[in-house]
Structure 1
Amino acid sequence: MQRNSVIRRVLAAAVVVAAAAGCTVSGSAGSAPTKPPASSKPADDKPSSKPSGTQEPDGPEAQNALLSEGDKGMKVRELQARLRQVAWLFEYPDGSYGGSTVKAVKGFQGKRGLPETGEVDPVTWERLLKMTSKPGFFELYAGGDQPAAKPDPRCLQGRVLCISKTSRTLVWMVDGKAQLQVDVRFGSELTPTREGVFKIDFKSRNHHSTLYDTPMPYAMFFSRGQAVHYSSDFKARGYTGASHGCVNVRDEAKIASLFEQVKAGDKVVVYW
């Protein structure tokens, strides 16, 4: 009996020591659940119905303008391209947040019950993102002025009309240095502009196509009837149209200057 009493006292002491150390003691006597870490969520917490980063901000953060009148740059150009997708802006993106962009943003906001500030706050931007897709390169530069592609190595020597189908640009180069750049448009799939190395055969200031009965001012012919020339249709319609194989230029002042500088025999490189 005395021995059993000693054993019971030893076991009781062990339980006290274990509890003091933070261990869980199994058994019905003296057991208790451990406290969950402070970062754990209650069992009845429900995950957000929106993925992380897509919730519309509220409070003071929502009042901070991301873009406003006077801003310039690629973010403004993207805003303008997205507004064109939902038919709130009809001008080409130019990367400058002016009056027409302010008016378009106000219209977009008013239609959706948002404060018509004309400034793009996080709520307005999030709503626009949900209704549009990421603009492609030629949506961002629908009105032109896109950066030129890297010049083909064949453009780096002599006098060359360096014409990139990738960036839709023509760069007039002399001994590897760019002298003038213009936006250009090419032929359709049925009448493609030929690629390769050519030379200017002849120039015609007031040329008129007998094949298509259309004017071709400032024409510089380089490949069996295909020429670089000014196009009023390109100026009016942009990249929604195409040529019959020629390289169209829409800036008349620039092609007039180019026409004066280019000579018969100068090289033409058309490449991707």
Structure 2
Amino acid sequence: MRVRPRTSARTTSHKSSYIAAKQRLGVLLGLIGLTVPLTVALTSGTAQAASSSCTTTTGPYQKKVEKFLGRPVDGRQSTTDCKAIRAFQTSHGISPNIGYAGSVTWGVMDLINKQKAAGNRPNAAGKCPVNKGRIACVDLTRQLSWIQDGATLKFGPVPIRSGRNGYETRGGAKKIYMRHINHWSTLYNVRMPYSQFFDRGQAFHSITGSVWSPPGSHGCVNMRSGDAKKYWSMLKNGDDVQVYGRKPGT
């Protein structure tokens, strides 16, 4: 004969508490899910949609893009062309990354070409002062920065990403006035490692993404991690910064 186990009031109470706890946990997880930024979901959906298609359309900058990528320059879109263009777009944060040789894609490539042309003489035009000793130069037009001491190049040039349209990096003679190696922006809720501020909240700092990704920063001079670390080691409060030119598209 089977004997039914006796259920005590304490056991019943524990089971009720356990069920209630699970229900509370379920509600909490649901609320956490709702707090995930909508932009994350939209971005993921867009990326997935873009990654599932590759355009067959020939873009207006097809030949220039083909040449940049080392592809046969025939001005006609092919499957291989599209895959190469898409890989470039993905690595540089260009959306939609569907392999179309449009103005944004060519704009990034053209900028990279101009940066390469600067070689080891970024100040050949003499627009950054050579009479101030150590100085960090920022050329907004070519999206380049370097450190020089007098006329001697000390580091760079390196690619940077300055402020987008409406949030332009301000030009002129500046000085570094504050440094914070692990800065957190309360305004934009993002990390700003190796921050060196030179103009009312605008600073050199590293980013995790591509420094060529459009449309630009909110005014800071974004840098690759290694470059920002080098700037951190070479500069100090009171050092000069010269910003000049104009970012393309602003």
Q: If the TM-score is normalised by the length of the shorter chain, which range does it land in? A: 0.5 to 0.7
**Which stretches in structure 2 are left out of the alignment for 5+ residues?**
1-57, 81-100, 246-250
Match of 1:168 in 2: 143
Is 1:186 aligned to residue 162 of structure 2? Answer: yes
Is 1:85 aligned to residue 61 of structure 2? Answer: yes
What does 1:38-187 align with in structure 2 at a 5 Å threshold? 85-86=61-62, 93=68, 97=70, 101=71, 108=77, 138-142=108-112, 145=116, 147=118, 148=122, 150-180=125-155, 181-187=157-163
Contact 1:193 1:247 in 2 (8 A): yes
Match of 2:214 in 1: 240
Query: CA, structure 1 residues 89+163, in 2 after alignment: closer, same or farther (shift >3 Å)?
Result: closer
**Which stretches in structure 1 are left out of the alignment for 5+ residues?**
1-81, 112-130
Match of 1:229 in 2: 205
Root-mean-square deviation (CA, aligned residues, Å) is 3.8
CA distance in 1, matches of 2:210, 2:221: 10
Q: 1:197 is matched with which residue: 170, 173, 180?
A: 173
Contact 1:161 1:172 in 2 (8 A): yes
Deviation at 1:260, TM superposition (A): 0.6
CA distance in 1, matches of 2:60, 2:172: 36
Q: 1:211 is matched with which residue: 187, 192, 207?
A: 187
Query: CA, structure 1 residues 263+110, in 2 after alignment: closer, same or farther (shift >3 Å)?
Result: closer
Deviation at 1:188, TM superposition (A): 1.8
When normalised by structure 2's length, the TM-score is 0.53
Match of 2:234 in 1: 261
1:209-230 alpha-carbon deviations (Å, 9 max, x no partner): 0111011111110011110111
Paired AA for residue 147 in structure 2: W
Please identify runs of 4+ aligned residues in structure 1 that moved more than 4 A: 87-90, 107-111, 135-138
Query: CA, structure 1 residues 87+207, in 2 after alignment: closer, same or farther (shift >3 Å)?
Result: farther
Is 1:252 aligned to residue 228 of structure 2? Answer: no
Task: Classify the secondary structure of the residue corresponding to 2:160.
Answer: strand
Deviation at 1:85, TM superposition (A): 3.5
The number of residues matched between the two structures is: 161
Paired AA for residue 177 in structure 1: T
Query: CA, structure 1 residues 137+188, in 2 after alignment: closer, same or farther (shift >3 Å)?
Result: closer
1:199-249 alpha-carbon deviations (Å, 9 max, x no partner): 0112111111011101111111001111011122344xx242211111111
Contact 2:64 2:106 in 1 (8 A): no
Contact 2:162 2:216 in 1 (8 A): yes
Match of 2:95 in 1: none
1:83-106 alpha-carbon deviations (Å, 9 max, x no partner): 89349979x947xx4xxx36x97x
Q: Percentage identity across aligned positions?
A: 26
When normalised by structure 1's length, the TM-score is 0.49
CA distance in 1, matches of 2:209, 2:159: 13
